[in-house]
Amino acid sequence: MNGPVAPAADPGVEPGVDPSFDPRTGEQHGSVPHTAPEQVAEILRRALGAAPRIAGTSPATREAWLAAVADALRAHEDELVQLAGEETGLGADRLRGELAKCAASTVFYGAVAAEGSYLGAGTEGIGGDSTLSRWNIPVGPVAVFGASNFPFGFGVIGHDVASALGAGCPVVVKAHPAHPRLSVRLAELVADALDRAGAPVGSYALVVGFDAGLQLVDAAEITAVAFTGSQGGGMALVERAAARGVPVFAEMGTVNPVFVTTDAAADSAGIAAGFVGSFTLGAGQFCTKPGLLFAPAGAGLFDAVRAQLGQVPRAPLLTAGIARGYRAGLAGLARAAEATGAEVTGAEASAAATDIPVEPTDGYAVDPRALLVRLEDLHPGSRLLEECFGPVALICEYADAAGALDALVRLQPSLVASVFTGGPGDPESVEVVARLLGQVGRVALNAWPTGVATSWSMQHGGPWPATSRSDATSVGAGALDRFVRPVAVQNADSAHLPAALHPDNPWRIPRRIDGRLTLPTA
């Protein structure tokens, strides 16, 4: 994962570069040089210079820029999927789907900008001849630290970058060391598309290397940071940026719970199949992975999961470091589980948790695992509740739904939870959902949490430490809100007002005039 904690250097790797490894074989295929400090400084200077020009463009103009980026991604699909496959091992089908979603979401954020609600524009009389006008302005240059597990969706283009550009901010993005060659090629395509579409010089740029990333966070030109990655990396980044008072939206790792009601447990086979499919999707390397399932005792969920896991092949994790982290995390979970009398199962149920090979001769492939744990052992601070990034999950059988729910809501907050019910008349589900909403950003009813829609109503953020800001989302229309701030002018005449509040409404956006919401006429 990516963050302000320096990654351990692999033996034999040349300093000053990000090496490119194939996680399926462990072989190195080239490298990308780090960006020098003077180059970063020049990139920041250009971004700062571009900021007022981008902010002054109409949202419809920025919509056209983002559409051009999406067209470039689609035009180079085969090249990008091949390159991403060499560096992530995620497979062509998964990568083609992710690239298609990335292009679609890029267009979506342009449409959200053009619609204009995110501007919050309004004006009113406040007594006598006095007026008050309020709207949102772009914050300025944004630094984006992408994720290892979504090279398109949360990489050097994707939700964070597209929503920041849509909101009117220049973006400087840091290449992720898990896929440096892909990062560079994507950045070339994005920069070229923006240039051809008429975006100002400095609208978008890429830097490479750990020190270059720190230089971004410390730079006076950067006014906001977006990060997707590990909890440790995200918290360190938040602390470093806080020294300058810079807001950080960090989406970090958590254990996302699933609650199966008594009535729903009648379909234990179906739930087990869905659970295994969800927590092993992408080799368990999703921030929305369901990591802890509560099921009624006697429903046979653990046995059903055991049967399903026997059919799941081992899969490569993204990097050697992630594979080592999975092995260490799984070993810790297994020791904690064994100490409480819990049971471990997986493709090789009798194998020790430490037997997962991560040597280059075997790539970074691992087996999925599931652990049956006791309700009384799930409490704040328990080793069993630490996130293990990869295909492992816990199952807890409960005798009393109320007791299980009490334990669940005492746990660390998370991004998302799933609740499986026996139907509309299920008496347990109403209380379960109501109580979970205090713990998570999204509750999925009778659906697995790994699906995230790019839509107007999506919430992809939760209470700390799932994200550093519980009032924001990194996916969906609300993602633009992270990169604007409200301002007001009292007694403004037309020369002081932005286009968003000009009487003739040239941007064709919804506005609130004297308290009444008014929509643009056709």
Active site residues: 251, 287
Beta partners for 418?
258, 444
Cα–Cα nearest to 386, from 259, 235, 231, 237:
231
| Cα gap 293→99, rounded to integer Å | 31
Cα–Cα nearest to 448, from 272, 322, 312, 318:
272
Cα–Cα nearest to 470, from 413, 418, 432, 419:
413
Cα–Cα nearest to 88, from 315, 318, 364:
318
Q: Which two tokens stand for residue 455?
A: 């839509």
Backbone dihedral angles phi then psi of residue 416, each to the nearest 5 degrees: -155, 155
| Cα gap 191→181, rounded to integer Å | 15
CB 416 within 8 A of CB 462: yes
Amino acid letter, residue 201: V
Q: Which residues of 284-319 are buried (b: 16+ CB within 10 A; e: fewer)?
A: bbbbbbbbbbbbbeebbbbebbbebbeebebbbbbb
Cα–Cα nearest to 292, from 198, 384, 164:
384
Give every CB contact of residue 5 below 8 A, 6+ residues apart in sequence: 232, 233, 236
| Cα–Cα distances in angstroms (integers) from residue 508 to residues 37, 117, 163, 333, 471, in the given order | 43, 10, 20, 55, 27
CB 158 within 8 A of CB 187: no
3-class secondary-structure state, position 388: coil
CA 309 distance to own-chain centroid: 27
Give the helix/strand (H/E) hosting 300. Answer: none
